Amino acid sequence: MSVVIFDPDSRERHRVAMSPGKTLAQALEELCEKTERSPAEYELRRGAKALDSSLPWRLLRLPNNSSLELVRTRKSGAAGASAPRGGTAKLAVSLPSGSRVIVEPSIDATLADVLRGLDALGHFPAGADLAGASCLVVRRSVPPEALATTSLRGMGVSAGEQLRIRVMLPPGAGAETSQPAVVLPERALAVREPFLVRAVDGVLVNPFDARRRRLRLSNALVAAAVVRFPAGKAVLYAAGFQDSVIGEGVQPPAPAEEPEFVVLTPQAANDSGTLLKVRAVLADTVSRDLLYTSSS
């Protein structure tokens, strides 16, 4: 899939390859690098409509080979190519250790630059393998090989914008080795385990959303995946969930009282190392159980 971008200055058309997760900001940056321009001075339009450059291709609902136009933004004015590219963004970075730090890099910095800056400030263990690190930005996963070419501007981040990023180190790197092993039942929930994979994914994507950190036990999906199967709660306990009679915060039930929720505290939600281990075990169990079910 691709888009065709018309350049009114040169009267040329440029074809830029797209993928489902690629944003128009990345396409604009790629074109401007090719034509030696500053992407801060241009935007992409379809007809008279300015497009949201931060959205991935799959959410733009544009047909393949769409024709777009490269338009100079009004803010660039007569300054032209001399307009500054600067500006910073505020990033809330969740580290593999479970802690969170706030940094303000340039929007022209790449994710590799951000990681190097964090390492220089001592936020990673000594000898951490940053070459194998990956990042989760909103719902987009950026693999190690793409960190050096993925800039904040290319992801649609503008000056002054706030963004959450989760950094994940490869297994066995740095602080990961000091965390206790995650112990799950040998055979847990068969084909109902994918629900728990989605529950853990929800927390990994947005650990700050309290709705993703709680499960109501009376909910039909939760009951099917957890209440009817004793191993279900063992999986949630391994991820850090706790029994509670309230959905906001954690209030353990009295001895004769049944819990209404299982809740993950904000501190546990930031422990990405444990959550990723639980998810890996769940995903592996899911694939094995689905294979077992289909062959029986």
User: Which pLDDT score is estimated for 74?
Assistant: 56
Q: Is the dihedral of CA 118, 120, 126, 127 positive or negative?
A: positive
Q: Domain map of the chain by residue range?
A: 2-82, 90-173, 190-295
Q: Which tens digits make up the pLDDT trace of 191-238? A: 345 777 788 888 887 777 788 888 888 888 888 777 666 677 777 888
Task: Please tell me the distance from the alpha carbon of residue 154 to that of residue 156, in angstroms, as a whole number.
Answer: 5
The secondary structure of 47-68, three-state, reads CCEECCCCCEHHHHCCCCCEEE
**Among the CATH numbers 1.10.760.10, 3.10.20.90, 3.40.630.40, 3.40.50.2300, which is that of 2-82?**
3.10.20.90
φ and ψ of 85, to 5 deg = -95, -15
Token pair for 8 = 């009114």
What pTM did the predictor assign?
0.42
Residue 110, strand partner residues: 151
Task: Please tell me the distance from the alpha carbon of residue 162 to that of residue 19, in angstroms, as a whole number.
Answer: 25
Inter-residue long-range contacts of 249-254, CB under 8 Å, 24+ positions, other chains counted: none
Length of the chain: 296
Q: Which tens digits make up the pLDDT trace of 46-73? A: 887 777 777 777 777 788 888 888 888 7
Could you check whether 2-82 and 90-173 share the same CATH topology?
A: yes
CATH architecture of 190-295: Up-down Bundle (1.20)
Residues near 236 by beta carbon (within 8 Å), at least 6 away in sequence: 196, 199, 215, 226, 262
In one letter, which amino acid is 294? Answer: S
Which range has the worst mean pLDDT, 22-36, 176-190, 215-229? 176-190
Tell whether the model's pLDDT for residue 115 goes beyond 80: yes
**Among the CATH numbers 3.40.605.10, 3.90.79.10, 2.40.50.100, 3.10.20.90, which is that of 90-173?**
3.10.20.90
